[in-house]
Amino acid sequence: MKSFRNSLFLLALTSLPLTGADLFAQSADDAMRLGYCTTEYSSGLILQDKEGPGVYQAAVYFTSDLLNKYEGDKITAVEFAIKPKRGSEAKVFVCNHINYMSTTTLGSGSTTEYSEGWNTVKLDKPVTIYKGMDLYVGYQLMLEEGEPFDCLLFDQSPYAVPNNNLYGFNTGEDNWYDNTSGINKNVCVRAVVEGKKAPDNDISFIKIEPQNGSDYMTQNEPRSYYAYVQNNGKTPITSFTLTMNSKTASQTIKSEKTFEGLNIQNNVPQKLKLDGIAIPAEGNVTTEFTISKVNGEKDPYPSDNTLSRPGYCIKEGSKAVARKVLFEEFVSEAYEGIPAADEMYASVFDERDDKGDFVWVKHHRNYKGVQDQFVIDEDDDYEELYGKAKKPFVPAVCFDRLPISGMEDPGPAYFVDYEEQTNTILSAVKQEPSFVQLNIDNKLEGKKLNIKVSGHAGVCEMPMQDELRLTTWLVEDNIKSTEQEGAEGSSYVQDGVLRKVLSSSAWGDVLDITKYDFEKTYSVDLQDGWNVDNMRVVTFVSNFNTDALKRRVYNTQQLACTKTTGITKTTAEAQRPFFVVGGVVVANQGFRVVEVCDIAGRKVSAHNLGAGLYIVKATDGERVYTQKVIVKH
């Protein structure tokens, strides 16, 4: 099967108008319909720069897992939907292999009397379904001279059954495409099956997703899901039992809920709203949703009754906390473009009201054989943050080491040379919720700096955690250098210079948060030439994985060092009134969301926000906070 080619097909972006006549009415002949599509259609597929004559075709693939349920029944007709009407003749077929239709076709039919919308074309001879049989069922339109290839339709479902929806053009048997990942809908093709073998109490579980679209959830908090199911029998389904097995790294928790008062007819996938589903686990969890009983009975064919969905479950009673973003810049004194890059990034931060929520640190690199005086041993390790780039480059920046979509570089270190782009990424990353707080204490005794990092995690593990690490650095600002290329004047002020990694490795020390509270101490002798008044301690919690794109930072904290003896302390308090998680506005602890408006001032739901700019009002009971937020998907 060929893959989808963007140069060939264009999905029409405008939904097509729908009238009552366009819907295929439930047949009174007690026949079954097999297919993946709903009866309501949406977008059409257009073959670019191509006109008839030619063949435009679509098909669905049924495996024996499905067809075995109807062993002995017969496929008598094929249904399809098109818009607009094209061609002089419509042909339908049932075959064993779509790339060898001329030798594997089992049944066919044709008509010149078809129209825009749904059509039913009978096979000249019914095709009997045998056990173990795999079949392709579809249609072909014979387009006339000058007719555009623009009539193939997809349905309105929010999912596509992978590898089972096919489309193509012209008469070559190999001109078929099965990639619907960019379309995420099903072709409008169904098989009409007649007989008495349709099983009772048999359901197919097609898809399940949270109503608010977010896989962040709170432990034991009931919420709603959308389920997409299909009744494979003729008897209506009025109830089913949903069993949930929530699996974490250390345990599996089983729960169960029965939904009654349903009316799931046969012949078409249906969307159900399932309320009151609560996940009892904590942390990263994969939940297996299984329809275990149908109408109070066991499903005779349970192989298509289970779906899995990963998510992150926030501990009951916990809330997101304030987040500081780690902004890492890769620089070199031998590259003349660094001063301009520093100026641009500094301008971005200076114009932000939340500039205190970003921690800027620089990794120095040797450049074209020229040694940089600020390079430390661990900077060789941090080269891994360039990912699969052919070679390192400067300047490069990381935003909490998160992968950023739409970038040319593999990441998580990227070349970002525009203020607007930098600002947009910073805003998006700042909206990522954090569930770990960090505190720093330090005490200077002579030339020895003693540091204690402590913290509290609100959840027993972080989102998408593999191996959690705590990394602590000593950073110096306001260093006057005479070696920076491209600098104006005789010297250049270097800020954010990484002087020393205090952790046991560049990637930090293994961190256990299963007991929620943690603590780590460090002691470092200050070297000659370091100015303690310009130094700061930077600490952050991150993930470790051999894949650099999975080394995300969960939260960061910093604290200035001084010559004053005694203890100074900083704590990441939950000062931000809300976060946006997966398109959902989530109030922080002690706050509630008052309203959410789009940029035109219209009130919108705080759940399932689309991409765009919104104005959010939240209150702590005394004051009202108004902030603009950017939602990106």
**For residue 352, what is the domain's CATH number?**
2.60.40.10
Q: What is the CATH number of the domain that holds 146?
A: 2.60.120
Residue 375 or 623, more confident = 375
Instruction: Quote the CA–CA distance of 483 and 463 in Å, as a whole number.
Output: 42
Which of 141, 167, 194 is the endpoint of a domain? 194
Q: Is the peptide bond before 310 cis (omega within 30 degrees of 0)?
A: no
* 1 inside domain: no
> Do 26 and 123 share a domain, yes or no?
yes
Lowest mean pLDDT among 5-19, 83-97, 370-384: 5-19
pLDDT in tens, 435-478: 999 999 999 998 999 999 999 999 999 999 999 999 999 999 99
pLDDT in tens, 421-435: 999 999 999 999 999
Instruction: Quote the CA–CA distance of 542 and 537 in Å, as a whole number.
Output: 16
Q: What is the mean pLDDT of residues 317-342?
A: 95
Can you say how many angstroms the Cα of residue 366 is from the centroid of all Cα atoms in its chain?
37
Judged against a pLDDT cut of 60, whether residue 12 lies above it is answered with no
Q: Which residues fall within 8 angstroms of residue 484, CB to CB, at 6 or more apart?
A: 333, 338, 339, 492, 494
**Total number of domains constituting the chain:** 4
> Do 604 and 562 share a domain, yes or no?
no
> Do 306 and 163 share a domain, yes or no?
no
pLDDT of amino acid 295: 97
Instruction: Quote the CA–CA distance of 402 and 627 in Å, as a whole number.
Output: 24
Angle (CA) 130-191-10 rounded to 5° is 125
Tokens of 428: 């998006």
> Do 567 and 583 share a domain, yes or no?
no
Instruction: Quote the CA–CA distance of 349 and 195 in Å, as a whole number.
Output: 70
> Do 133 and 261 share a domain, yes or no?
no
Count of Cβ atoms closer than 10 Å to residue 376 Cβ: 17
> Do 400 and 436 share a domain, yes or no?
yes
> Do 50 and 120 share a domain, yes or no?
yes
Give 85's Cβ-side CA count (13 Å radius).
12
φ, ψ at 350 (rounded to 5°)? -60, -30
Which of 261, 295, 314 is the endpoint of a domain? 314
Structural domain boundaries enclosing 603: 578-631
> Do 82 and 129 share a domain, yes or no?
yes
pLDDT of amino acid 6: 34
- Residue 107: name the closest of 133, 83, 144, 85 by CA: 133
* 319 inside domain: no
* 320 inside domain: no
pLDDT in tens, 391-418: 999 999 999 999 998 899 999 999 999 9
Judged against a pLDDT cut of 50, whether residue 177 lies above it is answered with yes
Instruction: Quote the CA–CA distance of 263 and 304 in Å, as a whole number.
Output: 20
Q: Which residues fall within 8 angstroms of residue 323, CB to CB, at 6 or more apart?
A: 357, 430, 432, 433, 434, 555, 572, 576
* 3 inside domain: no
> Do 565 and 603 share a domain, yes or no?
no
pLDDT of amino acid 189: 97
Categorize the per-residue pLDDT at 49 as very low, low, confident or very high, splitting at 50, 70 and 90.
Answer: confident
pLDDT in tens, 105-164: 999 999 999 999 999 999 999 999 999 999 999 999 999 999 999 999 999 888 888 889
φ, ψ at 68 (rounded to 5°)? -60, -25
Lowest mean pLDDT among 398-402, 451-455, 501-505, 595-599: 595-599
> Do 526 and 583 share a domain, yes or no?
no
> Do 213 and 96 share a domain, yes or no?
no
* 4 inside domain: no
pLDDT in tens, 540-593: 999 999 999 999 999 999 999 864 433 333 333 335 677 665 556 666 656 777
Judged against a pLDDT cut of 70, whether residue 317 lies above it is answered with yes
Count of Cβ atoms closer than 10 Å to residue 325 Cβ: 23
Q: What is the mean pLDDT of residues 53-75?
A: 95
Instruction: Quote the CA–CA distance of 600 and 135 in Å, as a whole number.
Output: 52
pLDDT of amino acid 629: 74
* 80 inside domain: yes
Angle (CA) 71-77-78 rounded to 5° is 105
Long-range contacts of 422-427 (CB under 8 A, 24+ apart): 422/344, 422/345, 422/348, 422/397, 423/348, 423/351, 423/352, 424/630, 425/399, 426/325, 426/327, 426/348, 426/352, 426/358, 426/399, 427/629, 427/630
Judged against a pLDDT cut of 70, whether residue 281 lies above it is answered with yes
Mean pLDDT of the chain: 88
> Do 279 and 381 share a domain, yes or no?
no
> For the CA atoms of the chain, what is the radius of gyration?
30
* 611 inside domain: yes
Specify the pairing of strand 189-194 against strand 89-95. unpaired
pLDDT of amino acid 576: 63
Q: What is the mean pLDDT of residues 268-273?
A: 90
* 384 inside domain: yes
**Burial zone of 17 (CB within 10 Å; 0-12 exposed, 13-18 middle, 19+ buried):** exposed
Q: What is the mean pLDDT of residues 372-383?
A: 96
> Whats the size of the chain, residue-wise?
633
pLDDT in tens, 206-245: 999 999 999 999 999 999 999 999 999 989 999 999 999 9
Count of Cβ atoms closer than 10 Å to residue 538 Cβ: 22
Which of 136, 167, 194 is the endpoint of a domain? 194
pLDDT of amino acid 517: 98
